[in-house]
Structure 1
Amino acid sequence: MNTLMTVLHTLLTPQDGWSAEFFLRVALSVLLLFALVIFIARAFGSRTFASFTSFDFLINVTAGSLVASAIMGKNLIGGALALLCLAGLQWLISFFSARFRPWHDLVDNPPVVLIEHGQYQHRVMRRVRVSMQSLEQQLRNQGVTEVEKVQFAILESGGTISVISGDASQRSVGTLPRRTG
C-alpha cells in the first residue's frame, strides 16, 4: 500500500512541486497560448483548426500536442514558435492544395463511392476498410431505410459519409468524385 501511495503522489505532484509560481506559469501560459491560437486562426483562416480532411485532423492533433507541451513545459516561446510554424505549413499546403489538383491528391484522401445506384461496392468498401455495419449505421443516421433508394453513398476525405437518395433522373452528377479505379 505504501508503494501505491508513493507512486500516486509522484504522479499527482508537479516535477518541481506545488507552488504559486507553478500555478502562475500554467495560467499565464494558457492565456498567452489561447491568444496566440486566436491570432493564428484569424490570420491564417478558419481552416487552420478545422477538421475537413485527414491532413487537417493531423494538423489539429499536432497543434494540440504543441499547445499542451508549451503550457506544461518550461519554454513557452519554443512551443509558440513551433505552433506558428505548423500553422504556416498548414496554410502553405492548403494554399497549394486548393490550386493544384495533383498537390491536393498527394496530401489528401480522395472521396470514394461506397454505394452506386443502390448497389454496395464491396470491393471498394474492403479497400477503404468500411464495414457493412458502419455504412448501414450511417445510412440510418441520415434517415435512409432502403438501400435501393440510395443513388450514391460517398466516403468523403474527412471521413464522413454523404448519401444522395431519390430519383437518379433528378440528380446532377457534377459533385460526384472522380473514379480512381
Structure 2
Amino acid sequence: MKELLFKNWESLWHVAVCTLLAYFVLFLFIRISGKRTLAKLTAFDFVVSVTLGSTLSSMMLGKVTLAEGAVALVVIIGLQYALAWMARESKPLEKVINSSPTMVFYRGDFLEDAMKKEVLTHEEIYAEIRKFRMLDVDQVEAVVMELNGELTVIKKSPGSAHTSLKALDSEGS
C-alpha cells in the first residue's frame, strides 16, 4: 500500500525529467508539423491528437525510452502528413479520411433527413443561428455541419453567382 502513494525519490526524478524532455520533443514536432495538427479537429485529426497524447504519456512515465517515443511521434506526424497529402490528391480517399459537410437547414426549411443523420435538433440549429447574432431566421440561407462537427450559418446574400454552397445540394449531402 505504501508504494501506491510514494515509491522513491529516484522514480519521481525520473518522471520529472522524462516529462520535461517529452514535453519539449512533442512541442518541437508539433511546431515542425504545422498548423494542421492544432486545427479544429476532424475525426482524422482527433485520432492523431489521441495517439500523440498517449505517446507523450508513455514517454513521461518512462514506459518507453525517449528515443522510442520520439520515433513514435515522428511516425504519427508522418502518417498525418502522408494521409493529408493523399486526401488532397485523391477525391475518393478524401471522402474516406474527411467526411463531407452536410447541409441541415436551407432557406427556412430544416432538412430532417440530414439532421437525423447528424443527430441534430432544431434547438441546436436555432442556438447556432443566435450565436451568429441573427434574430430573423429568414435571413439565413443555410446552416451546414462542417467536417469537424462545427455548425456554420450562412447569411442570405442577394444575387450570389459564386457560392460556397455549390458542392452541397439542398437535400443535405
TM-score by length of 1: 0.82
Aligned to 1:59: 48
Superposed, 1:2-151 pairs within 5 Å as: 13=5, 17=7, 19-76=8-65, 77-151=67-141
Is there any run of 5+ residues in structure 1 with no aligned partner, and where?
1-5
| Divergent runs of 4+, >3 A | 174-181
Give me the whole-angstrom Cα distance separating, in 2, the residues matched to 1:171 and 1:53: 29
2:155 matched to which residue of 1? 165
Give the CA deviation at 1:25. 1.5
- Count of aligned pairs between the two proteins: 170
- Take 1:10 and 1:129, find their aligned partners in 2: how far apart are those partners? 47
3-state SS, counterpart of residue 159 of structure 1: coil
Once the two structures are aligned, what percentage of the paired residues are identical?
Answer: 24
What is the aligned-residue RMSD (CA, Å)?
2.3
Structure 2: runs of 5 or more not aligned:
none
Using CA pairs below 8 Å that are at least 6 residues apart, which structure has the higher relative contact order? 2
The CA distance in 2 between the partners of 1:94 and 1:39, in whole Å, is 20
Q: Render the CA deviation track for 1:42-79: whole Å, top value 9, x for unaligned.
A: 32222124334221122112211221122123323333
Write the letter of the residue equivalent to 1:102. P
- The one-letter code sitting in structure 1 at the alignment partner of 2:48 is I
